[in-house]
Amino acid sequence: MNNIDFQYDDEVDVDENDSKEHSSEEDSEWYQRSNTTEPRLSLMISTDGKPIIKSKRTRTKIPPPIREDLNNVILLGLWHGPVAPPSSLLLDKIVDNIKLLAATGINVYINNKIIHFMIHVQLFTGDFPARAKCNQLVSHNGFYACSRCLFDGLRCSKPCGKHTLYKWTDFIQRPQKQRTQQHINTCAQQISAVNTNVFGVIGISPLSSVLSIPDQSTYLLSEWHDVLKQNPTALNFINKCLDDIKYPHTFNRRPLDFSNYTKWKASELRTFMIYIALPVLVKLRLNIPNCFPDVYLSHFILLFIYIRVLRHFDDRDEIKNMPKFIHIYLSHFSHLYDPCKELYSVHALVHLWQQVEQHGGLAYHRYQRGLIIYHSMSYSRRQNSNSYDVCVKDDSNPMQLVLYYGRILFFFYVHHKPFLFLKRYVNSNNILSSLMKPIEEVSSWNMYIDKYYRVVRHSSFELLILSCSCIVSKCICFQLDREFSLCTQIELETEHD
């Protein structure tokens, strides 16, 4: 199944009181490379498989940021069958149409006038199997599987011998050449009946004529579970923590039962890794000391910072700070986990910051407009959801941004302007970074940890009346004990809907 997302790159009018978030995508390298003064539509093409089953939780996957508006998503192709079709059969006509649109542009009727738009392909994305098939590269478990570099990989040693490993030590000892579209085209020309695979290229991809595959085609829990299952009390504790978390009503899938993590959907895994894992592990160590190796948490800190920053950031300079985090993470990976786990999916992390630099944050978010709905404790239909825990800004000091966390008790209007009655928690002087340290010292790690998780004293609070314009975002709160909680902002809520 192929989707195409249209992004209108002309100015967007957003009401003053609406939440507005710009992605770094507009400033990204690949976006700026094709930037013109003419109105333009940027296309993001995605593909994925979808099981044909009847379930109220099964829905067409629409990548952000356009999932808020179905009118901006076009289903380009749909294949129904027991096996996937060849990439040429699936993509040839689609690519031909895109090339025609790119050559001629398109006229769109807006506000009683016709505007001519140029067409630009921003990127193609999908999971590993889908990308390999459409890019005409070997599967993610083969040699030369990386679409960004010419790292060949090697087979793991016997008695296993079943995995193709992409070891960090080999990667840094032998600097790898970067893939280019020209190299891919040359390899495709050398393919024959005898030589069916040249540097991981297995054919000519239709996508090659509209984009650069290396630049525009983008992409532990088992060890943790093996440790925790030795201590049923610890495993039950984590499951109770997961059960106790209340998410906003827009979180359609929520990670539950850590024992069944292998059955979690990607959205559940994302929620766990971005918001939940760190505070749950900290709470576990505080309540049941020595049940979980500190080194795993010290190692995970680096991956957490790397992913959460690349997902969404306010300053593009932060991207340049991220390689050091993933390099240290990968350098220790094979010492902590089974060597057979150092697969292409681990190696691909090293290229993630480069893709973000070219295309913008992982969440692809451009703007929000009137889409965020907040509840209050007085709302009778909220059921088990939590859209009332929020982060608010203190407007009393315009020279300095001060954030607080609290719970909305009810809303009301004065002269047609919305206000909220807030139970605002007291910010604690304690910091989360004091409870942990990375596996290897890296500058600014504690700044990121304390930025994403604020310790508040929920046992102490004050009741305030604030304008609704003070709301920054919803948040997820984790109670550490009877006095303190951890609060983390949900920066891009519509990503989870």
Residue 248 and residue 271 in contact, taking contact as beta carbons nearer than 8 Å:
no
Give the residue carrying structure tokens 């975002």.
473
Write the pLDDT tens digit of every residue in 88-112: 888 888 888 888 888 888 888 888 8
Q: State in Å, rounded, how far the first CA of the chain is from the last one.
A: 20
Residue 165 and residue 153 in contact, taking contact as beta carbons nearer than 8 Å:
yes
Write the pLDDT tens digit of every residue in 446-473: 999 999 999 999 999 999 999 999 999 9
**Other C-beta atoms within 10 Å of 295: how many?**
12
Residue 432 has what DSSP assignment?
A: G
What pLDDT sits at residue 197?
Answer: 86
Using alpha carbons only, what angle is made at residue 283 by residues 282 and 288, rounded to the nearest 5 degrees?
Answer: 105
Does the predicted TM-score (pTM) go above 0.75?
Answer: yes
The mean per-residue pLDDT over the stretch 307-313 comes to 89
Write the pLDDT tens digit of every residue in 339-370: 888 888 889 889 989 888 887 787 754 444 45
State the pLDDT confidence band at 30, using cuts at 50, 70 and 90: low
Residue 8 and residue 45 in contact, taking contact as beta carbons nearer than 8 Å:
no
| More confident: 407 or 74 | 407
What pLDDT sits at residue 379?
Answer: 87
Using alpha carbons only, what angle is made at residue 56 by residues 373 and 265, rounded to the nearest 5 degrees?
Answer: 80
Residue 33 has pLDDT above 70, yes or no: no
Pick from 50-54, 176-180, 356-360, 427-431: least confident: 50-54
State the pLDDT confidence band at 68, using cuts at 50, 70 and 90: very low
Per-residue tokens: 396: 């009393």
CA distance 259 to 256: 9
Residue 404 has pLDDT above 90, yes or no: yes
